[in-house]
Amino acid sequence: MNYKQDFIKFMCDSGVLTFGDFVTKSGRNTPYFINTGNYNTGEQINKLGYFYAKCMEENNIEADVLFGPAYKGIPLCVTVASALYKDYNKNLNYCFNRKEEKDHGEGGVMVGHKLKDGEKVCIIEDVITAGTAIRESLPILKNCADVDISSVIISVDRMEKGKNEKSAIQEVYEEFGIKVYPIVTINDIIESIQNDIIDGKKYLQKMIDYRETYGIK
């Protein structure tokens, strides 16, 4: 298996990628669901960092700092920083935000590396539905320093239309000039079912139909 197929199987084995009948926040009936909150062991979070780091290396993504939006992005940015150091000898800084500003001690909303003007920041996220977390992260980062927010890494690109004919990833790029890199896409998941990398043949046609109805071209 290549690392993308390995990642899809890893999500299934971890109970993160499941198949069935679900309803998204937008009210769409979907045959699959991704819940990254189901990662809950040291082995899983360690392996997850490897996949994000591999995606960064494969796409030649350069960064000085990894930023994890609270809350799910916090363990993600930590494990990715660790994996980049362990697997690629890259010692990147990392930081994350608090949901509420601290009013004692050192104060502020940020934890970890103190951002500096000109630094390249890569945002580490789980999935993007409407791009809300990214839009919330930008002013937080820019209020700290004049940083260059150059990229976002996510686990899965659902490749779905948003309010118009474009996906959230396309909208983020057009609005902010920030490129989003997924480890895998919904097309990769469909191919993994077709090639018996993972179970899911029962929902294969529903997956294809959903992609045809809501997917970007």
**Active site positions, annotated:** 102, 104
Of the chain, the end-to-end C-alpha distance in Å amounts to 27
Q: d(Cα 149, Cα 11) in Å, to the nearest integer?
A: 28
Partnered with residue 33 across adjacent β-strands are 18
For residue 82, the tally of other CB atoms under 10 A from its CB is 17
Is 132:162 a contact under the CB 8 Å cutoff? no
For residue 186, the tally of other CB atoms under 10 A from its CB is 20
For residue 8, the tally of other CB atoms under 10 A from its CB is 23
Is 138:131 a contact under the CB 8 Å cutoff? no
Please name which of 145, 149, 152 lies closest in space to residue 108, comparing C-alpha atoms: 145
Q: d(Cα 133, Cα 84) in Å, to the nearest integer?
A: 24
Q: d(Cα 208, Cα 186) in Å, to the nearest integer?
A: 10
Collapse the DSSP code of 186 into the 3-class scheme (helix H, G, I; strand E, B; otherwise coil) and give the result.
helix
Residue 35 main-chain phi, psi, to 5 deg: -125, 95
